[in-house]
């Protein structure tokens, strides 16, 4: 069947400033090169200038040593922003680690409730979110937004797994939660990105790829071809994530 070629990507959209969903480290169970060099090379190949980077060691094995690995990596590579993590299943130890991260200047905390087998109504999850908010951290989290939104109410948080099928749910939530942001990685429907931007504003969207565990090309191409105006596009391609690194408050993001 004949398929017409895609229109060319606009020159001004060749570079994406920040990827909000980047991982690195050893993955013994997968045949994926997630070394720091491989990850940074992949971002560069796809025209992505920088990324919010989190250690897989911290997510899957040991948060403390993983966070040390993450900080060292971000110091070595220009354009990488450090993102800490904790083990939600041990909320008491997580208290101390969140304090250590905040004292070291880390401003982002990534949670892995799905990967750590934590339920949405877990007391530990709610406590970890509360402690992170008290320290002024912005949160990134895996999990279906329709199930996991409640513990994050009132927080600044990027939901990394918002699917095209959950666009309406996310819009309804974002109307009353100014700090809720959706990663674009799974917003692959023909109007998913555009619908969220039109309903609640492009500041509720941030580009994410989940490099190197997912192919970067589909998410990057979808964003580059999105029917957004120039200001909206710049917001999604890095503006939203950049605000997390500044001093913006929730009322400023409405």
CATH code assigned at 156? 3.20.20.140
Q: Tell me, what's the pLDDT at 217?
A: 95
The per-residue pLDDT for 246 is 82
The domain of 65 spans 14-242
Q: Is residue 181 part of a domain?
A: yes
Q: Is residue 91 part of a domain?
A: yes
pLDDT number for residue 248: 39
Q: Give the single-character DSSP code of 7.
A: P
Is residue 23 assigned to a domain?
yes
**Confidence at residue 10, expressed as pLDDT on a 0 to 100 scale:** 79
Residue 41 structure tokens = 């090379």
Residue 26, pLDDT score: 79
Q: Which of 26, 109, 118 is nearest to 67 (CA)?
A: 109
Strand partners, 26: none
With respect to residue 247, please indicate whether it lies within any of the assigned structural domains: no
Q: What is the pLDDT of residue 30?
A: 72
Strand order in the sheet with 80-82: 16-24, 48-55, 80-82
Residue 49, in any domain of the structure: yes
Q: Regarding beta strands 180-183 and 205-206, do their DSSP bridges make them parallel or antiparallel, or are they unpaired? A: parallel
Q: Tokens for 131, please give them.
A: 């402690």
pLDDT of residue 74: 92
Distance between start and end Cα atoms, the chain: 46
In a domain, 95, yes or no: yes
The total number of structural domains that make up the chain: 1
- Below-70 pLDDT ranges, the chain: 1-8, 247-254
For residue 45, the model assigns a pLDDT of 96
| Residue among 64, 67, 80, 77 nearest 20 (CA) | 80
Cα distance between residue 130 and residue 139, in whole Å: 11
Query: Is the residue at 30 inside a domain?
Result: yes
In a domain, 252, yes or no: no
What pLDDT shows up at residue 249? 38
| CA separation for the pair 147, 150 (Å, rounded) | 8
């Amino acid at each position: 069947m004949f398929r017409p070629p895609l229109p060319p990507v606009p020159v001004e959209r060749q570079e994406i400033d920040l990827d909000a969903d980047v991982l690195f480290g050893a993955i013994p169970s997968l045949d994926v090169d997630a070394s720091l060099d491989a990850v940074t090379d992949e971002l560069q190949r796809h025209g992505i200038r920088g990324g919010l980077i989190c250690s897989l060691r911290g997510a899957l094995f040991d948060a403390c040593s993983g966070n040390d690995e993450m900080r060292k990596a971000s110091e070595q590579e220009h354009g990488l922003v450090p993102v800490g993590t904790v083990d939600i299943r041990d909320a008491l130890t997580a208290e101390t680690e969140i304090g250590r991260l905040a004292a070291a200047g880390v401003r982002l905390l990534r949670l892995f409730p799905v990967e750590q087998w934590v339920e949405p109504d877990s007391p530990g999850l709610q406590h970890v979110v509360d402690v992170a908010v008290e320290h002024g951290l912005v949160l990134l989290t895996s999990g279906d937004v329709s199930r996991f939104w409640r513990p994050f109410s009132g927080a600044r948080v990027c939901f990394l797994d918002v699917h095209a099928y959950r666009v309406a749910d996310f819009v309804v939530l974002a109307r009353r939660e100014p700090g809720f942001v959706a990663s674009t990685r799974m917003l692959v429907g023909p109007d998913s990105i555009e619908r969220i931007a039109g309903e609640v504003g492009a500041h509720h969207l941030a580009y994410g790829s989940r490099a190197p565990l997912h192919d970067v090309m589909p998410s990057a191409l979808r964003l580059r071809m999105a029917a957004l105006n120039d200001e909206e596009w710049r917001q999604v391609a890095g503006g939203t994530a950049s605000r997390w690194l500044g001093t913006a408050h929730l009322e400023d993001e409405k």
